[in-house]
Amino acid sequence: MNSRPDPQPELAATQAAALPPAPATLADGTPIPTEQNARGPAASEQPRLAGLASWVPWLWYYAERQLTRFARLLDADNGLSRVLTWLLLAVMLPVSWVVISAPLELWPQTVFSVGTFALALALSRTPSRLLTLALVLMSLLASSRYMYWRITDTVAFDNALDIAFGTGLLMAEFYAFVVLLLGYAQTIWPLQRKPAALPEDMSLWPSIDIFIPTYNEPLSVVRPTTLAALALDWPRDKINVYVLDDGRREEFAQFCAEAGVTHVTRADNRHAKAGNINAALKNTSGEYVAIFDCDHVPTRSFLQLTLGWFLKDPRLAMLQTPHHFFSADPFEKNLKTFKQVPNEGELFYGLVQDGNDLWNATFFCGSCAVIKRGPLLEVGGVAVETVTEDAHTALKLHRLQYNTAYLAVPQAAGLATESLSGHVGQRIRWARGMAQIFRVDNPLFGRGLNLGQRLCYLNAMMHFFYGLPRLVFLTAPLAYLFFEAHVIQAAAAMIAAYSLPHLVHASMANTRMQGKFRHSFWNEVYEAVLAWYIMRPTLVAVINPKLGKFNVTPKGGVIEKEFVDYAIAKPYLILLVANVIGLGFGVVRLGWWNTHELQTVVLNLIWTVYNLIIIGASLAVSLESRQMRNTHRIDMRLPASLRFEGDRTLVCETHDISNAGVGLRVPAGLEVARHTKVSLTLYQDDQECTVSGRVAAWSKDSAGVVLDPMTVAQEAEFVKFTFARADAWVKSWGTARQDAPLQALRDVIVLGAQGIRKILVYASADAGRYLAARPWRKKVDPQ
């Protein structure tokens, strides 16, 4: 019998974070009990009065209790549930249709809008799941009412110019409306799965292979991941670690030999990462495969927290965990919002994947996941038909009616893209791949998927078609300001009366549901930055899905000085110039040309100013900040001590750690010279890890120590004690402040203004240097 791996003291903290005491907390902060095996709402048997409106607590409680019982009846698989479902639809659909289609003039519509605003504002102050659903329903009705009005009352175009611009805007709005509906369906009830326990008898634990694919990444990036994989708490005779080196590099082979892992190469690089993994599948035999991108450092508890679900559900083929990043992405780095504003990917891993899990539609994301070998081989290995091989593989598994799961506990962390150009390239690949799936294996068609799965995949694919609609929104008011084209055939006051409920209710519902993972107005910034670059690849992929190739996202490196990436910023600069000129035209129309329709001019000017703010923020992202460290420092608090020559010891604490150095908090009033040799010991409970180094900096209450080169064995112990701790990433997951729409709007306005100001300063300086370097500016020798 194997001895059970040490669960390690920090594993308890991780499990406590992963298994909060009932009732569990939903994404919107609502307490609600759930059942681990449920794929739908679990009924509450306990009163949930905390936080309910003080003026009618018993009314809210009674309504929630009755609706919860009713939901249980609907969720049951029997004749009564089907009858109740049809009766509910029979009542709701006519009422909804009346609300959506009832024609109202300006003042009745305004009163209706103000009333719904007031009701939504009152409901939003109460942390109740019932009221979250009510806010979503109000948003659906307001948005549907707006789209019905747009289609039936605002398209009586008078000329070809109005038809061209107006139809384009209507199609863009309809696209946004459909994505909104799909998003609500996808995330309305996050499953919030918790870890399942492994059996006490370790002989029942399965064997597993760890795959770390790499191509051109430096060894310094791959080493921590490989050493952390060796530290995984699992029986040694049931785990094997493989570095899949498509670069076929000798230094990697030497490192793998020293570390005791298997270095795997192949004759060619056919099908890139997917082909690399498929080639390794042919020569390995573990019952399960865990895949980590070469920069994703797993924690020691990864397997113990994920494998339990496979033993509990024999049909489970894949379990995904979050992609967590310990470095700032280009948005966070260039806008200085790291750990303050949720990054672009946090919504997906914080909420969307949890929502997918409800519908048994979790996507495989290429890393930080476990896949059962049998089902993977049954679908032919990792998909190679598209450049988003991970999502396509999950789709194939779902078509064979295998289950997938998502565990929202960060058990690995990696490097975010370093530069905006690298970030854009990565998103282009994702967009092209999802468009390819839409074309070659559309989830709306074919066998094997349930309705929920089809809708989740449809929303994932449609999301990446936002390029053209976003550009339409950024230029739509220019159609009027430049050409006097009336893209919406209605008075400006009516447009405001119908559009504001649609926009505000959607904002309120989304803030309620996803406020921890996406702040208001930031979606516009993210999409504006990428819109131009993903528009063409997605449209081309729909026409010819075979075009395009897999590209590796660069990780690691430095940016020595701040600069404007003009190659990336070019579309934003064009949009900036166009909107500024449009603003000038609008001022002229306001004062002289169009005094007969001042409301229309003002509405378009407001829209243009908002677009300028978003464009300005996009320009701010293109201003690349300096990145001088080759290795990223990670916030980590550990008790520590420094031992100097002569056995003098100083008790201190770490505040950040990297592979190359450690930042320390030290007692005030001490002075230590630079380059002083020290021995640094880190402590955790009854464990300790000692490394040597030299003092790089020493101030009043902080110090920096540069670590001496370590042997592979020493580095493995250091990684195990730091980055591979079970609780290494739990405390940094979802730490951004809760969304406050007005605060978010202020932040975006400030960033937009700063972006425009900075780009003007840099562009002026760069233009001056360019002109100064031209040959015609040089003096001509008279001789």
Which residues are catalytically annotated? 246, 390
| Count, residues in the chain | 783
Question: Which residues are bridge partners to 642 per DSSP?
Answer: 650, 680
Q: What are the CA-CA distances from residue 228 to residues 222, 244, 693 (Å)?
A: 10, 16, 22
Cis link prior to 47 (omega < 30° from 0)?
Answer: no
Contacts of 749 (CB under 8 A, 6+ apart): 613
Q: Can you tell me the distance from the alpha carbon of 569 to that of 520, in angstroms, rounded to the nearest whole number?
A: 24
Lateral strand order in the sheet of 369-372: 262-264, 239-245, 208-214, 288-291, 369-372, 316-320, 403-406
Q: Can you tell me the distance from the alpha carbon of 778 to that of 602, in angstroms, rounded to the nearest whole number?
A: 50
Q: Can you tell me the distance from the alpha carbon of 94 to that of 41, in angstroms, rounded to the nearest whole number?
A: 26
Chain centroid to Cα 531, Å, comes to: 17
Alpha helices in 19-56 (DSSP H): none
Closest CA to 368 of 211, 182, 550: 211
Chain centroid to Cα 199, Å, comes to: 33
Angle between helices 566-588 and 598-621 (to 10 degrees): 160
Strand bridging mode 412-414 / 297-298: antiparallel
Region class of 772: left (phi > 0), else alpha (psi between -120 and 50), else beta: alpha
Contacts 24+ apart (CB under 8 A), 546-550: 548/387, 548/429, 548/432, 548/436, 549/272, 549/387, 550/271, 550/272, 550/273, 550/274, 550/387, 550/429
Give the angle subtended at the CA of 705 by the CAs of 704 and 706, to the nearest 5°.
125
